[in-house]
Structure formats: C-alpha cells, structure tokens
C-alpha cells in the first residue's frame, strides 16, 4: 500500500489536471466544462470530481501506456455524452481491463481523504462508490462516475506533450 497523497508527483499531477480543466473550460471545451461543473457542485456531484480525478491520475501513474490509446481515440472538441461514439468506443475496454487489474494489485493505495474527517480513502473505496462493475467498481449501472473518469483520462491524455 502506498499513500499517494503524501507524494509530490501525485499532488503535482492532480494540480496539473485541475489547472488544465480550468484552462480548457475557459476555451469552452465541453468535457472540461462538465468536470468543472462537478467540481463546483452542480447536481451535487462534487464528490465525483474530488475522488475520480485523483483516481484517473493514479491510473495514469500506474499505467502510462493508457495515455496514447486514449489520446488517439478521442478529440477534445467532442463532447462525451452517454450516447456518443467516443464515450462508448471499444478502446475503453483497454482502460476497463487496466483499472480492474490495478485495483486487484494496488487497491489499498490511498489517493484521497475524507472531506470532514481527513480519513484516508483507498482506490478500492473510490471504485466501489463511484465506478461500475465494468471498471472494477461496485455500481451495477455505470453513469456519472465512469464518465468523470473517462473525461479526466481524456484531458490528461491531451495535456501530455
């Protein structure tokens, strides 16, 4: 088990993602706007952003090979909606498989803390709470959590130079 919240690299990468989301939102990039909305509590989904953006960063640190595939198969100008080709593309199977594998191997890693108690939150807890079973989580139906993860990975992939 690693407590990523104590590492500079992890915290720097989360800051980069948050800054990229804000910068892209100013440029009216749809997925960045959607993530920013969640961070700001629209539909009371701020927990999705607080937990899944760090989960995306954790996954990329563990599996940097995912970035090229996500970047190749996505376009920042396209909005990821529940029915979009980009959201439903078969390339996400690669991400699903990687996420499940990493949760099995390193699910006890700490990547967040509770807002009220500052208690550590593990990868397994975040996945179980927010992700569908397809991504190694505990939710029968995917939805918002899966989409926040995918949008975060998409922005990370297009922000890496």
Express each pLDDT in 2-34 by its tens digit.
999 999 999 999 999 999 999 999 999 999 999
Express each pLDDT in 65-100 by its tens digit.
999 999 999 999 999 987 888 888 889 999 999 999
DSSP calls for 47-115 = HHHHHHHHHHHHHHHH-TTHHHHHHHH--TTS---TT-HHHH-TTHHHHHHHHHHHHHHHTT-EEEE-T
The total number of structural domains in the chain stands at: 1
Tell me phi and psi for residue 152, to 5 degrees: -65, -45
pTM over 0.85: yes
SS3 category, 14: helix
Q: Average pLDDT, stretch 115-129?
A: 86
Q: Which domain holds residue 100?
A: 4-159
Per-residue model confidence (pLDDT) at position 45:
59
Per-residue model confidence (pLDDT) at position 161:
44
Per-residue model confidence (pLDDT) at position 44:
53
């Amino acid at each position: 088990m690693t407590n990523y919240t104590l590492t500079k690299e992890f915290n720097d990468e989360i800051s980069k993602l948050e800054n990229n989301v804000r910068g892209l939102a100013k440029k009216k990039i749809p997925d960045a706007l959607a993530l920013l909305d969640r961070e700001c509590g629209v539909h009371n989904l701020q927990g999705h952003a607080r937990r899944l953006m760090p989960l995306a960063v954790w996954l990329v640190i563990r599996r940097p090979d995912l970035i090229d595939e996500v970047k190749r198969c996505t376009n920042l100008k396209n909005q990821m909606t529940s029915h979009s080709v980009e959201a439903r593309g078969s390339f996400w199977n690669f991400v699903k498989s990687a996420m499940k594998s990493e949760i099995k191997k390193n699910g006890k890693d700490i990547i967040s803390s509770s807002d009220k108690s500052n208690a550590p939150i593990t990868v397994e807890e975040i996945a179980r709470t927010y992700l569908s079973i397809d991504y190694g989580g505990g939710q029968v139906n995917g939805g918002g959590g899966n989409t926040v993860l995918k949008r975060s990975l998409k922005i990370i992939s297009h922000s890496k130079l």
